[in-house]
Amino acid sequence: MGGMEMEQALHAARALVLADLMADKVADADIVSLVEDAVVHRRWWVEQWPEGAAFVAGLIAQDVQDALLDRYGRWPLCPVCTESGDPHALDVEPELGTDPHWVCPKTAVAVARVGRLGAPMEG
């Protein structure tokens, strides 16, 4: 994979994660900085393993989710289990694969593709 393709994959992944943060109205400057940090980290990762470029959207989403948990709390909260009184975050599945989705870890319901939080689920 050439440098241009790698950068395109990283920029596409960045845009998807930012779209999800904006859908949840949490894309303030501090949080966008977390996205930038994740992109820098994954740039190095893809340089080491170019075939992994197809996986960076899910990985960056997970990186940002982990960074948010450390600093701000769970994100994104599961919209499926709102009645349970036990708010929990969605997981990215597959953990290392193409076409990552946000999935409820309790019900296994796919809520949205990464980059499509807040949008109607596609069939």
What pTM was estimated for this model as a whole?
0.91
61 and 20 in contact (C-beta within 8 Å)? yes
Query: 122 falls in which pLDDT band (50, 70, 90)?
Result: low
For the chain, the first-to-last Cα distance in angstroms comes to: 31
Please, what is the angle between helix 3-23 and helix 29-48, to 10°?
150
Query: 85 falls in which pLDDT band (50, 70, 90)?
Result: confident
CA distance 32 to 94: 24
pLDDT, tens only, 22-56:
999 988 999 999 999 999 999 999 999 999 999 99
60 and 39 in contact (C-beta within 8 Å)? yes
**What pLDDT score does 1 carry?**
57
